[in-house]
Amino acid sequence: MSSLLLLATEATSEGGGGNPGATIAVVILLIALAAFAVAYFIVGPGRRRGPKVRGDIPLAMRPYHSDEELETTGLERAMSWGVALAVFSALFVPLYWLVEPERIDHKIDEYYLRDVAFGRSLYGENCVTCHGPNAEGGSAPHPDPEVDAPWPAPRLDNIVARYEDNPELIPDIREFIEMTIAHGRPGTPMPAWGSAYNGPMNDQQIDAITNYILSIQTGELPEAQAFAGAQGEDLFGTHCARCHGADAEGYIGPQLINIFERYGATEGDEASIEEVREHIRFTILTGRNVPGHTPMPPFEGVLSDEAIEELIAYIESLQQTGGPAYGQIGGDPGDDDDAGDAQADTTDGSGDENEGDA
Contacts with ligand HEC, residue ranges (CB under 6 A) = 126-127, 129-131, 140, 151, 153-154, 156, 159, 177, 180-181, 185, 188-190, 193, 209, 239-240, 242-244, 252-254, 256, 259, 280, 283-284, 288, 290, 293-294, 296, 299, 311, 327, 329, 337-338
Q: Given the complex with ligand HEC, which of 239 and 334 has the nearer CB atom?
A: 239
94's torsion region: left (phi>0), alpha (psi -120 to 50) or beta? alpha
Taking CA atoms, 84 is separated from 79, 80, 294, in Å, by: 9, 6, 68
Q: Given the complex with ligand HEC, which of 69 and 275 has the nearer CB atom?
A: 275
Q: Given the complex with ligand HEC, which of 267 and 341 has the nearer CB atom?
A: 341
* CB-based contacts of 296, cutoff 8 Å, min separation 6: 243, 253, 283, 287, 288, 289
In the complex, least distance from residue 290 CB atom to ligand HEC, rounded to whole angstroms: 5
Read off the amino acid at residue 240.
C
In the complex, least distance from residue 167 CB atom to ligand HEC, rounded to whole angstroms: 15
In the complex, least distance from residue 166 CB atom to ligand HEC, rounded to whole angstroms: 11
Q: Given the complex with ligand HEC, which of 125 and 146 has the nearer CB atom?
A: 125
Q: Given the complex with ligand HEC, which of 7 and 262 has the nearer CB atom?
A: 262
In the complex, least distance from residue 203 CB atom to ligand HEC, rounded to whole angstroms: 13
Residue 139: φ, ψ to 5°? -155, 170
In the complex, least distance from residue 136 CB atom to ligand HEC, rounded to whole angstroms: 13
Strands 138-140 and 151-153 turn out to be antiparallel
Select from 332, 338, 328 the least CA-distant residue to 350.
332
Q: Given the complex with ligand HEC, which of 7 and 210 has the nearer CB atom?
A: 210
In the complex, least distance from residue 210 CB atom to ligand HEC, rounded to whole angstroms: 8
d(CA 112, CA 102) in angstroms, rounded, equals 15
Instruction: Check if the beta carbon of residue 312 is closer than 8 Å to that of residue 303.
Output: no
Taking CA atoms, 142 is separated from 5, 160, 241, 265, in Å, by: 61, 26, 11, 34
